Amino acid sequence: MNTFDDLGMPFPLFLAPVAHAAVDDAGSCEMCGRPASVRFSGACYKCFRNGGVEHTVDTEFGMVRVEDAQKGLTHGIPLSDPSILSDYELIPHPVDPKFPEETWFHVRIETEFLLELVRTPTYLAWQGEHWQFCCRRPCVFLGRLPATAVSPAAESPSAHIAAWFRCPDWSSVAHHDYGSLTYYGFRCAECNAFRYHEDTD
Ligand SMILES: [Zn+2]
Ligand SMILES: [Zn+2]
């Protein structure tokens, strides 16, 4: 299966097959008007990579829009126990008097890393993307794996999933369907740790 590298359109944070990306069909770039074989939020590769295209990525630390990336903060997540993210700098949202119990926090991530993330395509997922972080930066997306492609009897599937992604063979999963439990694999660009999340249709 083709990757964006194969198409000459590299994305440092997206090494998965092109078929796993949420992209737009061929057409005219909404920024420069040139014909594009694949478009990202309406733009050609060049315009998308140059920035300035409105593009939002949902993450485990909340939504990231271009304006969030410029501030070096995610839009935020509700946390009842902020100490679970003690490795990160958290900036509390102002308390909404209507919901005083809800405590939301922005998560600080270097602007450079978040700007790279909003210049990266999102991936197809049943419940929407949920980009993972490690070492205070967005991970590299490796692809979506149907749960039926790894040992379904495994008590702790994470080791099997990580092993599968160490040498992915996408042709071997082509006949599996993504109709139920699906794993989304990531690798940390800093420490090489494997991360994943899962969802179902
Ligand atoms: Zn363009
Ligand atoms: Zn890491």
Sign of CA dihedral 47, 53, 58, 64: positive
**pLDDT (average), residues 116-140:** 97
Whether the per-residue pLDDT at 152 is higher than 70: the answer is no
Tell which wins on pLDDT, 143 or 154: 143
Q: Give residue 125 CA to ligand 1 midpoint distance, Å.
A: 26
**pLDDT (average), residues 27-40:** 97
**pLDDT (average), residues 125-130:** 95
What tens digit of pLDDT does each residue of 74-118 get? 999 999 899 999 999 999 999 888 888 889 999 999 999 999 999
Q: Give residue 3 CA to ligand 1 midpoint distance, Å.
A: 20
User: In the prediction, which pLDDT does 153 show?
Assistant: 62
Whether the per-residue pLDDT at 131 is higher than 80: the answer is yes
Q: Give residue 176 CA to ligand 2 midpoint distance, Å.
A: 30
**pLDDT (average), residues 117-122:** 98
Sketch the domain layout of the chain as residue ranges. Answer: 1-17+121-201, 24-53, 54-120
Q: Give residue 33 CA to ligand 1 midpoint distance, Å.
A: 6
Of 155, 153, 157, 156, which Cα lies nearest the Cα of 182?
Answer: 157
Q: Give residue 5 CA to ligand 1 midpoint distance, Å.
A: 19
**pLDDT (average), residues 156-162:** 87
Which ligand gives the minimal distance to the CA of 133? Answer: 2
Q: Give residue 153 CA to ligand 2 midpoint distance, Å.
A: 28
Q: Give residue 33 CA to ligand 2 midpoint distance, Å.
A: 39
Q: Give residue 27 CA to ligand 2 midpoint distance, Å.
A: 38
Which ligand gives the minimal distance to the CA of 46? Answer: 1
**pLDDT more than 90, % of the chain:** 81
Cα separation values, 17 from 2, 42, 102, 123, 164, Å: 5, 20, 39, 10, 15
Q: Enter the tokens of residue 94.
A: 């102002």
Q: Which helix (H) or strand (E) holds 185?
A: strand 182-187
Which ligand gives the minimal distance to the CA of 195? Answer: 2
What tens digit of pLDDT does each residue of 37-50 get? 999 999 999 999 99
Whether the per-residue pLDDT at 155 is higher than 80: the answer is no
Tell which wins on pLDDT, 187 or 94: 187
What's the chain's average pLDDT?
A: 93
Whether the per-residue pLDDT at 176 is higher than 90: the answer is no
User: In the prediction, which pLDDT does 154 show?
Assistant: 61
Whether the per-residue pLDDT at 21 is higher than 90: the answer is yes
> Confidence class of residue 70 from pLDDT cuts 50, 70 and 90?
very high
Alpha carbons 171 and 64: distance in angstroms, whole number? 33
User: In the prediction, which pLDDT does 39 show?
Assistant: 97
**pLDDT (average), residues 133-148:** 96
Q: Give residue 113 CA to ligand 2 midpoint distance, Å.
A: 14
**pLDDT (average), residues 138-149:** 94
